[in-house]
Amino acid sequence: MKIELINTGSELLLGRVLNTHQQWICRGLADLGYEVSRQICVPDDGPSIQAAVRESLSRADLIITTGGLGPTSDDITRDLIAQMLGRKLIFDPAVMAQIERYFASRQRSTPPKTELQAMIPEGARVLPNLNGTAPGLAIPCEPNPFSNSSAKALLILLPGPPRELRPMFTDLALPLIQREMPLSAKFVCRTLRTAGMGESLVENKIAPPLEPLVRQGLEIGYCARIGEVDVRLIARGECASEIVAQAELTARELLGQTLIFGIDDDSMESAIVNLLTDQRKTLALAESCTGGMIANRITDVPGASAVLIAGLVTYSNQSKQALLGVRSESLDAHGAVSEVVAREMAEGAIARLDTDYAISVTGIAGPSGGTDAKPVGTVFMALARRDAQTIVRRQFNNFDRETFKFVTSQQSLSMLREQL
Amino acid sequence: MKIELINTGSELLLGRVLNTHQQWICRGLADLGYEVSRQICVPDDGPSIQAAVRESLSRADLIITTGGLGPTSDDITRDLIAQMLGRKLIFDPAVMAQIERYFASRQRSTPPKTELQAMIPEGARVLPNLNGTAPGLAIPCEPNPFSNSSAKALLILLPGPPRELRPMFTDLALPLIQREMPLSAKFVCRTLRTAGMGESLVENKIAPPLEPLVRQGLEIGYCARIGEVDVRLIARGECASEIVAQAELTARELLGQTLIFGIDDDSMESAIVNLLTDQRKTLALAESCTGGMIANRITDVPGASAVLIAGLVTYSNQSKQALLGVRSESLDAHGAVSEVVAREMAEGAIARLDTDYAISVTGIAGPSGGTDAKPVGTVFMALARRDAQTIVRRQFNNFDRETFKFVTSQQSLSMLREQL
């Protein structure tokens, strides 16, 4: 099965907006065993959109488009595709009623031109939009007018705004795809999320022992991002569940729970919030060079308030002393970026906020501020615990500023996770 | 001139990685007057990459590819393209020496297979990689073997890792493009970055008065993102500078300095750090519902340490009392999400940290925790100032959790910027 994704939007090709749809849609499909074979982005003009859709129809069985379904003059995707397929647009009173309910529930009157969004191409199925006005559309093309093999194709049109597209894609489009275009064989996928070891080391560790399962049909994929490596275990067919389960067991034995922080959509921060919640433990943060990124990541997790008592971003020496009780002698003798100060920060946080754990980080993010003994990238991080000794580590994270902050936050969260 | 961008990488089509190259490259080009007409993403397999490059060569004058230049078995872009164009790969000792220097400077020995990256297609120009090993390549195709019009084309191959690609693209590829493929007319672009007014209101305010300049060739583009609207002013030809300068003047008069927080690549946080630095003022943060995002944004700006004394993420009532001196009577009588508590947080932060300004935010990010009187999305934010009254605002930001945090951080930073 061939799948293509077409993102429409001039703002994407001018670089004003990041294309997050690609990742969301490709990942949702891949986790169910559907792989996108090509993604295309074209500006909001008629010839570009029609050419892209026509080409995709000539190659693929499933084509998903994003954007261009709204009420403004830029929103031309629905009309262009209907015209290309020779389908009339028919007013759908049920869609109009839903749009009116949407505005009414927000105490807003229905704006002019709204009814354009209730014009539905003949033969299309409506995917109701619960978070906006333009409905999604699923258009079966049987036969497919642009394919030489005259195979059938399915065209799915999704709205552009992420908060409309995401629930519609997950809750409506994916089940529709699974129903209308079932895979020929059962598909099982499990992603193990790891941190703390490079891609090639992870591969060297697990690939040889998994070789027998690979001969039975296991596929292993590795994806390295900054500070993380995903291991994707896939199998198809009758024995898929058993093969993937066995592979997961083997990989977990080889890598150990220290490296594997979660599965599938887990993040390091959600893993930590869940572990702390289960254990009814609390956390305080004392950040210097990460500047609040650790707190920001932890509070991205719903329910973080049950575990995070406070985060202190003590960017100045003054605030390290005032808020955490770091001693001026320590700062004078060792400097703010030192093992001693990292320790005092974590211990100050745990004592003052009366938590079970406290993480501290202090380092030189750059671009300036380095010395020969402590070049840009030097970091000290500490973990203070209620009933155990404080652990301090030194790291060298020689990256650009934003990467530095992320890698450092990841290492300090890993350090905590290892103790939970 | 037609420009196409081809991103190679199976991990992109599996949704494991976000395609940030698209935004970076498209934006860099657009700011110089070059618009990308199509972007394509294909997996790391030979037929997909060759088909995409061949199709782009049949349509475009400039084709940029990303990824697949490294030393691993996935890295096949260079070889495939050389083969397709019928170019031999020739070992380049200067490239090899540069790669060896790269490893030597990191006290690492040169790994095996490295010499693959020193194999350069005949006739290609090398773009040295200062942040990694695989060089970029610029391959002039004259004549273009896949174009019917037999026009010439330029093919630029860039490495995949962002910290290698970005400086190479900006410092080497863009100047090369400007030299080899000059625009037919002078191009001037100025982006005004605004926050605090919706896209259609901004357009209604500036479009009619700018109409005379549009007749002289001014192009106006609007791009709305969450919490921000960019206004792009463009002109081409002899009078381009004058037209854009006049348009900027008019737009600034109409929108005022309260709405316009920066130009071009400025961010709200960099605007604030620069203003505070110039005025030698200091800032403290007291965040609840934004959970450290404001601190994280401020500390993304190099030099933030000169202005940010500390950020307190007081996620619990306990920490609001202990760290900021919020009174328990205020929490009991009004709740943590209230005007009174927002005020006490900001005033506690400014007093305890002795800064010129302090921002506080307290609200209900959701998904749970709302009431009838204070539904999910309710926020109170305060700005305390050394010598002036504290300002408190109530907002209603009914979004998903991450959008809520961003919009709220944006509003509170705007509130500060208005006073600077």
Whether A222 shows a pLDDT value over 90: the answer reads: no
Residues in chain B: 420
Q: How far is A337 from chain B (nearest CA, A)?
A: 14
Q: What single DSSP character describes residue A170? A: I
Sheet holding B219-225, edge to edge: B219-225, B228-236, B187-194, B260-263
Write the CB contacts of A227 (distance below 8 Å, at least 6 apart in sequence): A195, A406, A407, A410, A411
Are A259 and A272 in the same domain?
no
Structure tokens at A306: 């049950």
CATH number of the domain to which B70 belongs: 3.40.980.10
Q: What single DSSP character describes residue A7? A: E
| DSSP helix, strand, coil percent of chain B (3-state; round to 5) | 45, 25, 35
- Dihedral class, residue A369 (left if φ above 0, else alpha if ψ from -120 to 50, else beta): left
CA gap B281, B203 in Å, rounded: 35
What is the 3-state secondary structure of chain B? Answer: CCEEEEEECHHHHCCCCCCHHHHHHHHHHHCCCCCEEEEEEECCCHHHHHHHHHHHHHHCCEEEEECCCCCCCCCCHHHHHHHHHCCCEEECHHHHHHHHHHHHHCCCCCCCCHHHHHEEECCCEEECCCCCCCCEEEEEECCCCCCCCCCCEEEEEECCCHHHHHHHHHHHHHHHHHHHCCCCCCEEEEEEEECCCCHHHHHHHHHHHHHHHHHCCCEEEEEEECCEEEEEEEEECCCHHHHHHHHHHHHHHHHHHHHEEEECCCCHHHHHHHHHHHCCCCEEEEECCCCCHHHHHHCCCCCHHHCEEEEEEECCHHHHHHHHCCCHHHHHHHCCCCHHHHHHHHHHHHHHHCCCEEEEEEECCCCCCCCCCCCCCEEEEEEEECCEEEEEEEEECCCCHHHHHHHHHHHHHHHHHCCC
Interchain CB distance below 8 Å, A296 and B292: yes
Are B241 and B316 in the same domain?
no
Query: Cα-flanking dihedrals φ and ψ of residue A139, to 5°?
Result: -115, 105
Name the closest residue on chain A to residue B322, using Cα atoms.
A353
Looking at beta carbons, which residues of chain A come within 8 Å of B310? 312-316, 319, 322-323
Is A2 an interface residue toward B (CB < 8 Å)?
no
Is B335 an interface residue toward A (CB < 8 Å)?
no
| DSSP helix, strand, coil percent of chain A (3-state; round to 5) | 45, 25, 35
CA B15 and chain centroid, separation: 20
Q: How far is A399 from chain B (nearest CA, A)?
A: 8
CA gap A319, A331 in Å, rounded: 12
Are B240 and B140 in the same domain?
no
Q: Give per-residue burial for A389-412: e unless 16+ CB within 10 Å, then b.
A: ebbbeebebebebebbbbbbbbbb
Whether A72 shows a pLDDT value over 80: the answer reads: no
Average pLDDT on A338-349 reads 97
Residue owning tokens 């395609």: B19
CATH number of the domain to which B390 belongs: 3.90.950.20
CA gap A201, A207 in Å, rounded: 10
**Boundary of a domain, candidates A200, A231, A263:** A263
Domains in chain B, number: 3
CB-based contact A284:A350 (threshold 8 Å): yes
Residue owning tokens 């995070």: A308
Are B296 and B376 in the same domain?
yes
CA gap B296, B171 in Å, rounded: 28
Q: How far is A268 from chain B (nearest CA, A)?
A: 15
What pTM, to 2 d.p., does this model score?
Answer: 0.89
**What stretches of A132-173 show up as alpha helix (H) in DSSP?**
162-168
CA gap A35, A30 in Å, rounded: 5
CB-based contact A391:A326 (threshold 8 Å): no
Interchain CB distance below 8 Å, B315 and A300: no
CA gap A10, A77 in Å, rounded: 13
**Boundary of a domain, candidates B206, B229, B263:** B263
Q: Which pLDDT tens digit goes with each residue over A228-259?
A: 899 999 999 999 999 999 999 999 999 988 89
Assign A296 a pLDDT band (cuts: 50, 70, 90).
Answer: very high
CA gap B30, B190 in Å, rounded: 11
Number of H helices, E strands in chain B: 15, 17
Query: Cα-flanking dihedrals φ and ψ of residue A63, to 5°?
Result: -125, 125
Identify the residue among B163, B164, B270, B312 best suited for mutation to test binding to A, counting A beta carbons within 10 A and taking the highest. B312
Residues 297-316 (A) with a CB less than 8 A from some CB of B:
298-300, 302, 304-305, 308-316
| Bridge pairing between strands B62-66 and B388-396 | unpaired
Strand partners of residue A193: A230, A262
Q: Which of B52, B315, B367 sits opposite A309 (nearest CB)?
A: B315
Terminal Cα-to-Cα distance of chain A (whole angstroms): 44
Are A98 and A132 in the same domain?
yes
Structure tokens at B231: 């206004």
Q: What is the largest CA-CA distance in chain A?
A: 80
Are B259 and B312 in the same domain?
no
Q: Which of A18, A27, A310 sits opposite B323 (nearest CB)?
A: A310
Average pLDDT on A344-349 reads 98
Interchain CB distance below 8 Å, B15 and A30: yes
Looking at beta carbons, which residues of chain A come within 8 Å of B287? 292, 295
- Mean pLDDT, chain A, integer: 93
**B91: number of CA atoms within 13 Å, CB side?**
7
pLDDT at position B150 is 65
Range of the domain at B244: 187-263
Among A234, A243, A241, A190, which residue's Cα sits nearest to residue A216? A243
pLDDT at position A294 is 98
Interchain CB distance below 8 Å, A291 and B310: no
pLDDT at position B400 is 83
Interchain CB distance below 8 Å, A315 and B304: yes
Sheet holding A219-225, edge to edge: A219-225, A228-236, A187-194, A260-263
Structure tokens at B105: 């400077």
Is A36 an interface residue toward B (CB < 8 Å)?
yes
pLDDT at position A199 is 83
Looking at beta carbons, which residues of chain A come within 8 Å of B15? 22-30
CA gap A119, B296 in Å, rounded: 45
Whether A174 shows a pLDDT value over 90: the answer reads: yes
Residue owning tokens 């992420």: A162
Q: What single DSSP character describes residue B235? A: E
Are B32 and B145 in the same domain?
yes
Name the closest residue on chain B to residue A163, using Cα atoms.
B400
**Boundary of a domain, candidates A217, A236, A263:** A263
Omega before B128 within 30 of 0, i.e. cis: no
pLDDT at position A169 is 98
Structure tokens at A246: 């066995």
Name the closest residue on chain B to residue A199, using Cα atoms.
B72
Are B81 and B150 in the same domain?
yes
Coil, helix or strand at residue A181: coil
Strand partners of residue B65: B6, B157
Identify the residue among B41, B59, B398 best suited for mutation to test binding to A, counting A beta carbons within 10 A and taking the highest. B41
CA gap B180, B125 in Å, rounded: 12
Interchain CB distance below 8 Å, A36 and B19: no
Query: Cα-flanking dihedrals φ and ψ of residue A327, to 5°?
Result: -80, 140
Looking at beta carbons, which residues of chain A come within 8 Å of B288? none
CA gap A213, A76 in Å, rounded: 49
CB-based contact A332:B351 (threshold 8 Å): no
Looking at beta carbons, which residues of chain B come within 8 Å of A43? 35, 37
Long-range contacts of B113-120 (CB under 8 A, 24+ apart): B113/B71, B113/B72, B114/B71, B115/B91, B116/B71, B116/B75, B117/B69, B117/B70, B117/B71, B118/B91, B118/B92, B118/B93, B119/B78, B119/B89, B119/B90, B119/B91, B119/B92, B120/B89, B120/B90, B120/B91, B120/B92, B120/B95
Strand partners of residue B154: B62, B140
- CA quadruple A245, A246, A249, A255: dihedral sign: negative
Q: Which pLDDT tens digit goes with each residue over A93-120?
A: 999 999 998 888 877 788 777 888 999 9
Low-confidence stretches of chain B (pLDDT < 70) are 150
pLDDT at position B108 is 78
Write the CB contacts of A44 (distance below 8 Å, at least 6 apart in sequence): A8, A9, A10, A67, A68, A74, A76
pLDDT at position A150 is 65
The residue that leads in pLDDT, A116 or A32, is: A32
Is B350 an interface residue toward A (CB < 8 Å)?
no
Among B314, B304, B394, B378, which residue's Cα sits nearest to residue B348? B314
pLDDT at position A61 is 95
| Bridge pairing between strands A388-396 and B187-194 | unpaired
Is A225 an interface residue toward B (CB < 8 Å)?
yes
Are A207 and A326 in the same domain?
no
Residues 150-209 (B) with a CB less than 8 A from some CB of A:
163
Omega before B159 within 30 of 0, i.e. cis: no
Q: What single DSSP character describes residue B173? A: I
Looking at beta carbons, which residues of chain A come within 8 Å of B232? 14, 16
Residue owning tokens 């305390």: B384
Are A375 and A297 in the same domain?
yes
Coil, helix or strand at residue B167: helix
Whether A86 shows a pLDDT value over 90: the answer reads: yes
Are A14 and A82 in the same domain?
yes
Are A275 and A368 in the same domain?
yes
